[in-house]
Structure 1
């Protein structure tokens, strides 16, 4: 069964901004409330605000960036958030873009895959209550994380390209995609996850797809919404590489052509609610376990109320 969840569609400098979305998650058929990395407000603190306000719902972090937190701190925050919410949690991580790594670290990770492997392995072991004794190329940890009864934490990672998918198949519980067409998940991501899992002798990870979308309307330009939601991603090499692998050519020298390309290629869904429902069903058929509705473009263009209505409309259609 594929679940449908909600992405908080903007950063939250004030914790109360999450409350309408937490309420919608609690009162609707939404499965989980997600946040991505934000520097406007730390997502763990924002989730704690929701819990303190009476909205304790399942949550996901997809993805927080490794340069911001040592793996011990990452495991501690995830365990604490699960206990605070009283629900299982998915903690997703990613190395971030090379420019970000350069801005925060002495030097960028020499191997993105190597750094992710070390990070996820440490976090998973700590959350399992194991004593970690790792002196790696990127991370060092000689410690344990005190455990206490609480909901489980699943460890995930952002996945865009085949090599990362295979690695996540080996070491993680969840693969999290973003702006990734259903066909690419079916033909590339899922097979590589299964390959990695076979190598490690373990079950294949769950697949979570964060899917950007917007409903068509007489006052709406789909290309504008697609670019408002994703123009930053379309300037990052790991995204353009993934999209190229899905047959979508991106050249931000012509922004509107690039926005149109991600609509035509199924990376950004734009249409009637019935048309979007058909495209979301393609994600379920591709092997996605959880689809996260991302209405960032709508939120930034039309505001919070329009974003909430958009989510409600799509959730109602998918529940038919």
Structure 2
């Protein structure tokens, strides 16, 4: 993203179609939170979520300040989603990888949640230390705290500390059979378990489109990451063969076909436990630009409403 204006058509689309939320990923070009503030300044006050921003980029206290600030600026509920990031990325920023990604996420999100709830925090963890509390403010829209979840152990941690578990490239069957039970196990004893927001890659199968290329553009960098590879192993998706793109489509990790077929695939995520399904057309966006991505999203939304 070279300028926040690139996001404006998608915010306008979300507002026009009554989407539950506009989700933003981590941007290291123009910071995600500043993009969200820019949209609010433009008058585009749609509910927002981040899926996900990376822990080593900001202290938990600053993360809580930013999350609350966006709820105030947008005047809408906000989902502050966080992820640990690749070990190499963590080491480059903090000097070493986290001893445990699960432990780091648990410490971080627990502190952010307590700060947002107005509680004084006094924590000295293995990765993060926080002492203090946020200054009291007048009532504002709620902020949910979420964690990126790929595997059952992180799902269990999310169940313990989160409001939202955010999946990415996880097939619906894997969500229902593996992640949801682990999430519920982690949430045992809580008043209610976290809800699930599944980010699902989509592209209509239009004449002349190279779907395999769109899959590659959507998953660039992820298929080489050890934790994604392990998730696909657990899900029974063979990505080590000659055609990993075909496997991702066959598993439902990437949905393609006619709009009605994609809508049916999205409903399977709801059946598997997702309370919110996020349409990600980044492959089409990267290949054909924003108008083509928005055209796909419009047809899929229409099919869903039908």
Query: TM-score, length-normalised on structure 2?
Result: 0.98
Task: Tell me the residue number matched to 2:28.
Answer: 39
1-side partners of 2:220 and 2:34: how far apart?
Answer: 27
The one of 85, 89, 99 aligned to 2:78:
89
2-side partners of 1:164 and 1:76: how far apart?
Answer: 25
- Are 1:319 and 2:299 matched, yes or no? no
The one of 3, 10, 18 aligned to 2:7:
18
Task: Tell me the residue number matched to 1:268.
Answer: 254
Equivalent residues of 2:146, 2:163 under 8 A apart: yes
2-side partners of 1:147 and 1:174: how far apart?
Answer: 24
> Cα offset for 1:201?
3.0
Structure 2: segments with no counterpart, 5+ residues: none
2-side partners of 1:270 and 1:318: how far apart?
Answer: 14
- Are 1:129 and 2:89 matched, yes or no? no
- Are 1:189 and 2:175 matched, yes or no? no
> Cα offset for 1:29?
2.7
Structure 1 runs, 4 residues or longer, greater than 3 Å off: none
Structure 1: segments with no counterpart, 5+ residues: 1-11
- Are 1:257 and 2:243 matched, yes or no? yes
2-side partners of 1:226 and 1:158: how far apart?
Answer: 21
Matches within 5 A, 1:51-90: 51-90=40-79
The superposition leaves residues 254-302 of structure 1 with CA deviations (integer Å, 9 ceiling, x where unpaired) of: 6x61111111111111111111111111111111100100000000111
Higher relative contact order (CA 8 A, sep 6+): 1
1-side partners of 2:112 and 2:181: how far apart?
Answer: 25
1-side partners of 2:297 and 2:181: how far apart?
Answer: 30
2-side partners of 1:311 and 1:146: how far apart?
Answer: 40
> Cα offset for 1:30?
1.2
Task: Tell me the residue number matched to 2:224.
Answer: 235
Query: TM-score, length-normalised on structure 1?
Result: 0.93
